[in-house]
Structure 1
Amino acid sequence: MEYLVTYDVDTTTPEGQRRLRRVAKICEGYGHRVQKSVFEVTCTSAQLPRLRQELTDVINHTVDNIRLYRLTAGSLQNVERLGIAQLAPHQGDHIL
């Protein structure tokens, strides 16, 4: 399963800055950072609920925003990149 995960975490407080770091760390465990708050994620159907739960447990539901866009299989291999963007290695083993 391929997903594009985007997030906007309120960082106006020290707690918000910690949440931002925790959200990024969780996403790094499942995918590749392609922009500051955007990750391309490849996961199994068993990993997806765990990813959702980890993110849900970290964020402040009144001020933070996370979006998971499910992509069609193979979408991450067909991304048009401009500028310094590089192809993220989605194939192969991921260490969690």
Structure 2
Amino acid sequence: MLIIATYDVCTTTAAGRKRLRRVAKVCESIGQRVQHSVFECTVTDMQFEELERKLLAEIDQTKDNLRFYRITEPVDLRVKQYGCFRAIDFNAPLIV
């Protein structure tokens, strides 16, 4: 399944900046960054639960925001992209 993970971490303190780096690192480990605080993640149900658990452990729910969007199939009808960035299709054939 395709999940969009978005976050907004309060960075007015040094602790907030550390949280931001940790949240980004968790997201980078499972997905691809498509905007500064937006990641596309192709995951199984178990991977999604693990991602959610890890991110909830990192954020401060009194100051930060975390949102997940599940993109239903067929993804091609649900996601349109414009501009210079093109997401990598990890399910497509690899051409060397």
Q: TM-score range by the shorter chain?
A: 0.7 to 0.9
User: Between Structure 1 and Structure 2, which shows a larger proportion of helix residues?
Assistant: 2
Aligned counterparts of 1:31 and 1:74: Cα–Cα separation in 2 = 19
Unaligned stretches of 5+ residues in structure 2: none
Unaligned stretches of 5+ residues in structure 1: none
Aligned counterparts of 1:61 and 1:80: Cα–Cα separation in 2 = 31
How many equivalent residue pairs?
91
TM-score, with length taken from structure 1 = 0.86
**AA partner of residue 5 (structure 1):** A
Identity of aligned residues (%): 45
Alignment of 1:2-17 (within 5 A): 2-17=2-17
TM-score, with length taken from structure 2 = 0.86
Moved over 6 A (4+): none
Equivalent position SS for 2:45: coil
Which protein is bigger by CA-based radius of gyration? 2
